[in-house]
Structure 1
């Protein structure tokens, strides 16, 4: 049994790839009560940026399936974060919502705020896709220790990903991604979670760094006291630019192939991390968005964004997987790149300058909160 509240909502889309500028539709949103054998669970699907990717009837019929739970989680995280960012926009800029479909299976919702007064470019994406793994992705997974067979391997993937490039150089860039993956190999289904949140400041602020890492550690500690230490190191190692000898930013947490202790507890951990994004980042935006800066600070910001681009295009595993996937939506994959960036030949900051102090932390990651 279930009950629905029917609302009419209007979603704005980019006029891109055959989408109309504005498309109005009636969808089942609101409160859906699903009654199980022992108790009832409430699934609130109101106030999303767009209707779910998966048809509503399928979500209702499979309410306890992890695929459904993950899709509803990422829809909520996307909407909450977009609305929190819009509140900080002094000029009233809003996200453009682009809902897209993938012929191979599934689709996604891309939300982009561009040329704002606070955020020069902000993108918050979700994707819920299925199909068969391309060979490149299979080889990548096997290199990480996945035991996969040959032939057609059906997969399902759902995730939320965001990159925020602020206008003010004293507001850091943030990236987060949380995802769920299933691969069916014969009668066997393998599943795992991955993701993380990391901060890329242009100027080092110890108070900001401590606040950010403390929020992530608190989310981790709710589930396993060893998680933060392990996943912070993983983050420092992963977001590394070897040819520069430096990290992309001051880290955070990163993990992949998480399939323990069980599916529900792994999901709960991912949910806690995803819900920690707003309290970890929005206070930093509020603290610095109106801070004065000069052109030299802007030029340094553009140089650091160049390093961000280098990592994403050369090393990032998620970018490579997306580009290898049949029917990949390149506009959404490249959303993570900044609107403006700069490369300057043999640039080195003056020793003991604010810029130099940042580079020293990028070369030698430090612990921002007590690990024990």
Structure 2
């Protein structure tokens, strides 16, 4: 049965979502985002327009961006055709909002969120699917933060079925994974793609719930963590972990591959890169350190909501706020061998 694919309604929502998120982040940081509108003419193989909103060297965010794009092309990129051979020869229309935020404070996690619509055109009937999700990438893990983030994701999906959060969480765990490191990128969240299960209007409503949940999922976490003291050791470990973020985005991420293969706007595509990242040869954290706890406890997949109350806002312990906490002391930078990085 044919159904109307209301791309204008989706576009209006995406633009409003970008505006609301940028306004909230500007209020939090105190520095305005740079706004960079762009346009590609109809003669371009990938025509369309968008608006990139970027912050660099903010008061809180070291680098981040909230992008909107709406593009059309006559030929599907190879990454899509490989997944859906039946669509070979079709054109496409794609639009979405994508963001990545890299806080300066290592105790505040990096976050990614994306909501998007893809329509394959030129066939007997248009084929659409929604995609999106959000995921959290801490440097120093905190269970309250992770629980709050996952609970907010679950609550956003619950009106559409109790099975969606477990399914989308598993999808997220599977997707944000570095096989060459045998390691997750972060503590997950939710992820969905190629989604057209309920019909256009209900699929769109679910996607709106995900987009609208982002600020509720993330702002409470960074509000609580923003003033936690840190030193050289924490910053160095943050940059070491950012190296994993770069590896995932450039080697594995389908969105990055799609954008580059379709000759998208490189500046917008690579907006997700952290400002500084480091690699150390065969570095291992000291046993029982907070750095070791990230990979041993937080990165392995687990049910973060099992046995937890219905909701729990992020909180800080006294030791986390105390500049004298030995867990916040400076120490040697990561290097070759198990460097002494005390917990």
Q: TM-score, normalised by structure 1?
A: 0.78
Greater relative CO, 1 or 2 (CA 8 Å, sep 6+): 2
Q: Give, in whole Å, the separation in 1 of the partners of 2:115 and 2:261.
A: 19
Alignment-derived partner of residue 66 in structure 1: 6
Alignment-derived partner of residue 86 in structure 2: 147
SS of alignment partner, residue 126 of structure 2: strand
- What 5-or-longer segments of structure 1 have no aligned partner? 1-63
CA distance 1:209–1:147, change in 2 (3 Å) = same
**Are the counterparts in 2 of residues 248 and 362 from structure 1 also a CA contact under 8 Å?**
no
Moved more, 357-366 or 269-278: 357-366
**Are the counterparts in 2 of residues 124 and 160 from structure 1 also a CA contact under 8 Å?**
yes
| 1:369 has 2:283 as partner | no
Aligned-pair distance for 1:134?
4.0
Moved more, 102-111 or 284-293: 102-111
- What 5-or-longer segments of structure 2 have no aligned partner? 311-343
Alignment-derived partner of residue 37 in structure 2: 99
- 1:177-205 superposed Cα distances (whole Å, 9 cap, x missing partner): 11001002432210000111000001110
- 1:138-192 superposed Cα distances (whole Å, 9 cap, x missing partner): 43332xxx632x43x2211010000000000000000011100100243221000
SS of alignment partner, residue 222 of structure 1: helix
- 1:80-113 superposed Cα distances (whole Å, 9 cap, x missing partner): 1111111111xx3110000001233211100001
**Are the counterparts in 2 of residues 245 and 363 from structure 1 also a CA contact under 8 Å?**
no
CA distance 1:72–1:337, change in 2 (3 Å) = same
**Are the counterparts in 2 of residues 246 and 362 from structure 1 also a CA contact under 8 Å?**
no
Equivalences for 1:125-164 in 2 at 5 Å? 125-142=67-84, 147-148=86-87, 150-151=88-89, 153-164=90-101
CA distance 1:133–1:362, change in 2 (3 Å) = farther
Q: 1:248 aligns with which of 185, 210, 234?
A: 185
Between Structure 1 and Structure 2, the one with more strand by share is 1
- How many pairs does the alignment contain? 301
**Are the counterparts in 1 of residues 107 and 139 from structure 2 also a CA contact under 8 Å?**
yes
CA distance 1:123–1:234, change in 2 (3 Å) = same
Equivalences for 1:85-124 in 2 at 5 Å? 85-89=25-29, 92-103=30-41, 104=44, 105-124=47-66
Aligned-pair distance for 1:66?
1.9
Q: Give, in whole Å, the separation in 1 of the partners of 2:120 and 2:262.
A: 14
Q: Give, in whole Å, the separation in 2 of the partners of 1:138 and 1:261.
A: 22
CA distance 1:135–1:258, change in 2 (3 Å) = closer
Q: TM-score, normalised by structure 2?
A: 0.85
SS of alignment partner, residue 113 of structure 2: strand
- 1:217-259 superposed Cα distances (whole Å, 9 cap, x missing partner): 0001111110000000000000000111110000000011101
Structure 1 vs Structure 2 CA RMSD: 1.6
Q: Give, in whole Å, the separation in 2 of the partners of 1:111 and 1:341.
A: 22
